[in-house]
Amino acid sequence: MTSLALSVLDLVPVRTGQTTGQALESARRLARVADEAGARRYWVAEHHNTHSVASTSPPVIISMLAAATERIRVGSGGVMLPNHAPLAVAEQFALLEAAHPGRIDLGIGRAPGTDPVTSWALRAGLSDEDAVRRFPDYVQQVAAYMSPDGARIQIGPREHDVRATPHALQAPPVWLLGSSDYSARLAGQLGLPYVFAHHFAGRGTAEALALYRSSWAGPGEPQTFLTVNAVVADSREEAERLALPFQHMMARLQVGALMDPAPLMTVDEAMAAPLLLPADRFAAITAPWLLGTADEVAEGMRSLAATHDVTEVMVQPIAGSYAAEPLESTVARERTVTELAARLVS
């Protein structure tokens, strides 16, 4: 069998009955499992004011996870740059790189990662139009500030040196993330590695990757990988049950309940919950997901990797938990990672 590099994406879900601390401990345990299983990366996303997601501050969580693991690369999937000053992001990730050299990735996105009200609060009431318009400049500023030589900025008639850390030896790689043509084209033009959010809807991936590769203007070769939602269980039926909490969460998003105060359901709650969408639309949510036995999911990942010509797949293990299971871990998410690694990683 052809080996694939396996990576992990984590939203740090918070389920019914969990505290934020317990959700973070679950993420720490999952990162250790991924590290021991030989996974290449462990990335956390930036989301705000979502009661079922605890990953509000990727650099803080990355610091915690990098300290708890030994060899796996830890990074952001991603930091939503319009929410932050470029120098602040550069300082955070330059410090992470200094503390964990060669193990940090900075994935950057352009979306707000939240609802309009929270976006307003994040940006102190400023319009996001200017931040989005200046996104390409901000990306390049972050990379320059993190570099050992820093950046020169001009204010009035004078130039000034700005560095994210005083004595940087190297900078973490900057990845562009996206779910549209915009970031694919920009990543190619800037010569940056790129990831398309295939796990969002499973559509548009081939077009985005083709655009990225055809737009490539950097040194070397374009670098990309695939993202996918997956659950491993003893049977397809059990995998579908374990996926129900995340399926209900995605249905809430589709009906505009982003600020819904509900945590992620347990599997027990999800099995009893009414559908917020017509049955066919609810079922369609899982169409791009890989749900089944470990052999079935691993084969699905190999097929996707071959279709999109990549050698690395980042899985978001979306399995939920039953109410009786421990609050400091997610047994089914850990199983998904270990069993896929056993089949994919040489």
Q: For residue 259, what pLDDT is reported? A: 52
* Confidence category of residue 109, pLDDT binned at 50, 70, 90: very high
The pLDDT score that the predictor gives to residue 198 is 92
How far apart (Å, rounded) are the C-alpha atoms in residues 261 and 55?
16
pLDDT above 80: residue 124: no
294-313 in b/e form (b: 16+ CB < 10 A) is: bebbbebbbebbeebebebb
Question: How is domain 5-344 classified at the CATH fold level?
Answer: TIM Barrel (3.20.20)
pLDDT for residue 127 is more than 70: no
- What is the pLDDT at residue 254? 85
pLDDT for res 346: 72
Confidence tier at 49 by pLDDT (50, 70, 90): confident
SS3 sequence of 173-203: CEEEEECCHHHHHHHHHHCCCEEECHHHHCC
Q: In this prediction, what percent of the chain has a pLDDT beyond 70? A: 95
Q: How many Cβ atoms are within 10 Å of 184's Cβ, its own excluded?
A: 26
- pLDDT (average), residues 301-322: 97
The DSSP letter of residue 81 is G
Secondary structure class of 226 (helix, strand, coil): strand
* 3-state DSSP assignment of residue 220: coil
Average pLDDT over residues 18-35: 98
Is residue 23 over pLDDT 70? Answer: yes
